[in-house]
Amino acid sequence: MIYISEEESAGLVTHDLAYAAAREALAAASSTQSGVFPAVLGRSCDPGNTFSVKSGWSQALTGVKVGSFWSGNPARGLPRHNSTILLLDQESGRLRAVIEAGEVNAYRTAASDAVAADLLARKEARVLAVFGAGNQALYEVAALARTRPIDTVLVVANPSPRRNTFVATLAERGLPARTVSAEEAVQAADIVVTATPSRAPLFQAEWVGPGTHVVSMGSDAPGKQELPAELLQRSRLFCDLPSQSVQIGDFQHARAAIEAGELEVTQIGDVIEGRAPGRLSEEEITVYDSSGISLQDLYIAEALIRSKAKQTTRG
């Protein structure tokens, strides 16, 4: 059995590796030769400690990812978010690999949004607005900045030392950033990414200008919401997996209209494979609902195994 520790996986993962794995996984998800099962959400005896189980299969891979959020971990010197990926042997069903992937999960999530932005955002997009200043936000900015010539980052977050550190870190990485109001950020942005646990819209739909690309990645459970429902009515809609998006993603708040055929949702894998168009004009608004699918975890796990094998061979 293959085992990769948290320290090993964090040392192996890169934005390039994550992007390639995410693109392959999202394409596979839109194929008939794969399957993604409904996410299972649970908690421990402490309701502040929650976890999700995401599973799926393709012709190459079968497995499960368990992602956890333990609210009291910072007091123990540990991250709140953790992730473990289990790959099963395709022939026997026995455990093939166990990969601790806490930091990898942040790369994996951001990579999906970068793949979509590369297909949907305007080529000259330079101003990025990010809602939230938590751990995931930094990975989102880094991944999106690899796909477009971002030269300004507008941060919308409550005042805190974490927000100040986030802005300073971006500046150190050569990405000028400043904190602004939600309205100022959205009105100025070419790309908007929301990375929060919000259960109510973070901004007003009328603030979003023509040509903007919007990413919702924080909505990953029933009741969560980052985008105003009115925005969906005047945008072209894309997601990683439609069946999951309307259950736990931001599109759950437009489920009735989507299921009635009043709103059309395009799976991003169909754009990758050329079965559906991406952005059609410089003026249209595009929205990508990124709820996170199991195939992303399975494919990045396989990429990490290959990367470790190469390092071992070279060593």
Q: What distances in angstroms separate CA 211 from CA 84, 106, 121, 215, 276, one per listed residue? A: 38, 27, 8, 13, 19
Report H helices in 133-241.
135-145, 161-172, 182-188, 229-233
How many beta carbons lie within 10 A of that of residue 211, not counting itself? 17
Q: How many CA atoms lie within 13 A of 70 on its CB side?
A: 14
Tokens of 200: 């109510």
Whether residue 315 has pLDDT greater than 70: no
CA angle, 22 then 250 then 130, to 5° = 70
Q: Are 22 and 299 in contact (CB under 8 A)?
A: yes
Q: Are 9 and 99 in contact (CB under 8 A)?
A: yes
How many beta carbons lie within 10 A of that of residue 39, not counting itself? 21
Per-residue pLDDT band at 158 (split at 50, 70, 90): very high
> What is the average per-residue pLDDT within 60-89?
94
Mean pLDDT, all residues of the chain: 96
Domains, the chain, in order of start with CATH, read 2-105+295-314 (3.30.1780.10), 110-292 (3.40.50.720)
- pLDDT reported for residue 31: 94
Per-residue pLDDT band at 313 (split at 50, 70, 90): confident
Question: Among 155, 159, 230, which Cα is nearest to 185's?
Answer: 155
Tokens of 303: 């990429």
Q: Could you confirm whether 65 is annotated as catalytic? A: yes
Calpha distance 68→65 (Å, rounded): 10
Calpha distance 12→241 (Å, rounded): 27
Calpha distance 131→301 (Å, rounded): 28
Q: What tens digit of pLDDT does each residue of 14-68 get?
A: 999 999 999 999 999 999 999 999 999 999 999 989 999 999 999 999 999 999 9
Whether residue 314 has pLDDT greater than 80: no
Calpha distance 2→98 (Å, rounded): 6
Q: What tens digit of pLDDT does each residue of 243-297 get?
A: 999 999 999 999 999 999 999 999 999 999 999 999 999 999 999 999 999 999 9
Radius of gyration of the chain (CA): 19
Whether residue 302 has pLDDT greater than 80: yes
- pLDDT reported for residue 230: 97
Tokens of 278: 């991406």
- Annotated active-site residue in 65, 123, 224, 308: 65
- pLDDT reported for residue 126: 98
How many beta carbons lie within 10 A of that of residue 247, not counting itself? 16
Calpha distance 220→287 (Å, rounded): 16
Q: Are 128 and 189 in contact (CB under 8 A)?
A: yes
Per-residue pLDDT band at 111 (split at 50, 70, 90): very high
Dihedral pair phi/psi, residue 130, rounded to 5°: -125, 125
Whether residue 173 has pLDDT greater than 70: yes
